[in-house]
Amino acid sequence: MHTSKHPALSATPTLLRRFGCELIKSTVLSAHTSLRVLALGGEAFPSLTVLQRWRGKGNKTRIFNLYGVTEVSSWATFYRIPEDILNSPVKRDSPVQLGSPLLGTVVEVRDANGSPVHEGTGQVFLGGEHRVCFLDDEVTVPLGTMRATGDFVTVKDGEMFFLGRKDSQIKRHGKRLNTELVQQVAEELDQVESCAVMWYNQEKLILFIASKVDLVKDCIFKELQKELPTHALPDDIVLIDTLPFTCHGKIDVSALNEMYLYYINSQPRNKIHGREELWEKLQYLWKSILNLPEDPEDPVQVPDSSLFLDSGGDSLKSEWLLNEIEKITGTSIPGLLELILSSSILKIYNHIIQTLFTHEDLKVNKACATKRKLSDVDPEGACGKAAHLDSALPSTHDHETNALIALSRGSQVLSLGSWKLLTKLGHCPSVCPPDFTPQTNIQVLKGLSPPAPDENLKKPPVSEEGKPAVEAETVVLRERWRSDTGRCVDASPLLVIAAAVRQSSTTVFIGSHSHTVKAVDLYSGKMRWEQLLGDRVESSACVSKCGNFIVVGCYNGLVYVLKSNSGEEYWAFTTEDAVKSSPALDPTTGLVYVGSHDQHAYALDIYEKKCVWKLKCEGALFSSPCLSLSPHHLYCATLRGLLVAVHPAAGSVVWKHSCGKPLFSSARCCQRYVCISCVDGSLLCFTHAGEQVWCFSAGGPVFSSPCISASEQELFFGSHDRFLYCCSMEGHLRWKFETTARVYATPFAFSKQNSSSETLLAAASTDGKLWILESQSGKLRSVYELPGEVFSSPVVWESMLIIGCRNNYIYCLDLLCGDKSNQ
């Protein structure tokens, strides 16, 4: 629409931005331009601040905001920007109204129920007797049809102000965000020529910036921090030469996706060239993200003992810090988020050092390992080569179920198939209900650490060798075998006790940082098979209903289904981010549930090789889903602090509760309650209807999942305050026991072999110590030290304890009682 006398330009704001601010100002909107009308539409209108920056002094071009949609043959409203506003030297942040309807056009704003909105927020509907277009396969359209636009506005004093399209409204960090707000704020910065915002994989908020001057991303980020709330700050800023456009003059989103993928892949790995540089960058990130005041004399000094949460951090900022650290190091760092939320900056730094400079760690580990005497029953010997066994697992066809027991961390026992066949073999676990301990009878028991001077608490005597001397029957831990995985073992073991008419077998399945999953015979330690996956494995495995498969998550975003008798890959399901969550089986349907860092929970039918449902959970899922059979609920916990009860068949939300802080713990169920631990140190108990029953507070963050006793009268868990806790199901403390380091792993309650009257508790602290306690009293019965850190949780079967260690080994220890300890 232009003539030689009165030239006019109609364009999208994005197309105009392509010229750059200086060119627009010196030509298109200069004082001597021949352009009389500039009509911008098809996208959100630029802010008045940007318009004022584009306009040269003395320019007389009339500028219009046009709004409309294809469904009503394009433009429906218009608004002319007043000259006094364009010429004003005052910066204006207020949005531009959509203006008045064109002739024959009807404009309505409706709420979610379809009711008219005269003041407030709603969706725009457009129509009119002569404003009709046929869409798709339509052959007739009633006169007066009103089309939903998908655009949302705020109505104020009779004027409509554009908020954004429906697909620009995202849920981020638990809050609603309009991505166009981020673009608008960024565009108003003086250094920015043009920009675009992308919600990459519905997970990362990426800001693309084109500029004619050299930009420093940190400076841009600090400017954005002044104008945007935390949940609106981009995860990353990508500097580009020009924005990509479609043939219609709009941003080419698919091209932005490709640009970001190239950007990710082109980032150099391990940018840190030394320990000092890492320390400086960590301190800078710490202060920048927490927005701490600068000290002119020492601009980056942060005290070694500073804690992130105590310094103003929260779960959102902790993930932000994690992302920034992994960006500058060029690698993912296992366990880092947990440390950020619970430990000092110095401990976080040391943890990063251990990951980046692994060659020095290997020397330390080898030195530690040589100090330990090799087991008399070491199937691998000093060379580390495992002997191989043929699988003893029974094989069935299709969905036929084997007779088996699956045993996993936290004393979780799942029996499948013919239970009678298993009882004949004498393999059924027997845990008798511990005697009730009155809530007033609370003891604080200590391990090897010295008592505080003012405490009058009973401590088990310790012998000269450093081993507990207790009056009860002696329990000694002795290495039965160990199996080398090549890298750290943070996953917890899955034991599958399979029974057949002619033979039975017990197999340990466990993954490691070496990208492998191993199947090892429990009794001999000989390897049945080893399967290489696509990335690190921290997820613990679960067994399928038929027993023919194990299912495990991987850092590459895949959920692998492996044949249990050979390790051969049967199926791999793809999520959109790392899977650290451990899968859970529904024995009634055979469905497998798993969470992903892509913020979704999935229900998988492994036999049909399909995803039955997918549920967005408003936060990354680190922990394992927990299944309750009565009522039939699936409980999922997120790093946003949300506990969600899901209908297992439909994938619909039954109820949800915000715990306020990240949940690394998996939920645990009993007949009456569901319990979960939180990083703020609380243990929360809910009814299956979602009502909070009680809250117990530990002395430090809790990452350990609760272990519920067989009698459902007590539960056990560990904390970063170094204590193991036993609580009644009424939320009262029964006892607590002090270990020598943080307790990350989940305890395991079990009956002592050949005794149904006594139950014990196995637990691990991160310094590598394994603790055996009396579950009823918390008294120490034995302690054993592994040559490496332990984040894996123990599993006990018969008289054997199995656990992973960060010195690259899986360990199987015999629990020897009484006279056996002298053998």
Beta bridge partners of 453: none
How confident is the model over 92-106, as pLDDT tens digits? Answer: 666 788 888 888 888
Share of the chain above pLDDT 70, in %: 79
How confident is the model over 3-47, as pLDDT tens digits? Answer: 445 688 888 887 787 777 788 888 888 888 888 899 888 888 887
**Burial (0-12, 13-18, 19+ Cβ within 10 Å), 508:** buried
Query: What integer pLDDT is reported at residue 530 of this predicted model?
Result: 95
Q: Contact at 8 Å (CB) between 448 and 466? A: yes
Query: What integer pLDDT is reported at residue 426 of this predicted model?
Result: 38
Asked if pLDDT for residue 767 goes beyond 50, the answer is yes
Query: What integer pLDDT is reported at residue 389 of this predicted model?
Result: 55
149-158, 291-300, 678-687: the lowest-pLDDT one: 291-300
Residue type, 30: S
Query: What integer pLDDT is reported at residue 463 of this predicted model?
Result: 33
Could you tell me how far CA 646 lies from the centroid of its own chain? 18
Segment 751-765 shows an average pLDDT of 81
Query: What integer pLDDT is reported at residue 500 of this predicted model?
Result: 56
Asked if pLDDT for residue 284 goes beyond 90, the answer is no
Beta bridge partners of 477: 815
Query: What integer pLDDT is reported at residue 537 of this predicted model?
Result: 93
Segment 557-584 shows an average pLDDT of 93
Query: What integer pLDDT is reported at residue 631 of this predicted model?
Result: 93
256-270, 642-656, 664-678: the lowest-pLDDT one: 256-270
Structure-model confidence comparison of residues 127 and 273, the more confident one: 127
Backbone angles phi, psi at 669, to 5 degrees: -110, 150
Structure-model confidence comparison of residues 461 and 300, the more confident one: 300
- Report the interhelical angle of 275-290 vs 315-329 (nearest 10°): 150
Distance CA 551, CA 564 (A): 9
Structure-model confidence comparison of residues 365 and 733, the more confident one: 733
| 3 state DSSP class of 319 | helix
Query: What integer pLDDT is reported at residue 750 of this predicted model?
Result: 92
Segment 712-725 shows an average pLDDT of 94
Confidence of residue 451 (pLDDT cuts 50, 70, 90): very low
- Show Cβ contacts of residue 223 under 8 Å, excluding neighbours closer than 6 positions: 189
Asked if pLDDT for residue 740 goes beyond 70, the answer is yes
Following CA atoms 82, 83, 85, 90 in sequence, which dihedral angle do they give, to the nearest 10 degrees? 180
For 637-668, letters b (16+ CB in 10 Å) and e give bbbbbbbbbbebeebeebeebebebbbbbbbb
Confidence of residue 175 (pLDDT cuts 50, 70, 90): low
**pTM, to two decimals:** 0.60
Segment 661-678 shows an average pLDDT of 92
Query: What integer pLDDT is reported at residue 439 of this predicted model?
Result: 29
Structure-model confidence comparison of residues 391 and 51, the more confident one: 51
How confident is the model over 319-351, as pLDDT tens digits? Answer: 778 878 887 787 777 778 778 877 889 989 988
Query: What integer pLDDT is reported at residue 509 of this predicted model?
Result: 97
Query: What integer pLDDT is reported at residue 386 of this predicted model?
Result: 39
Could you please report the per-residue DSSP string of 638-697? -TTSEEEEE-TTT--EEEEEE-SS---SPPEE-SSEEEEE-TTSEEEEEETTS-EEEEEE
Segment 462-469 shows an average pLDDT of 36
Share of the chain above pLDDT 90, in %: 35
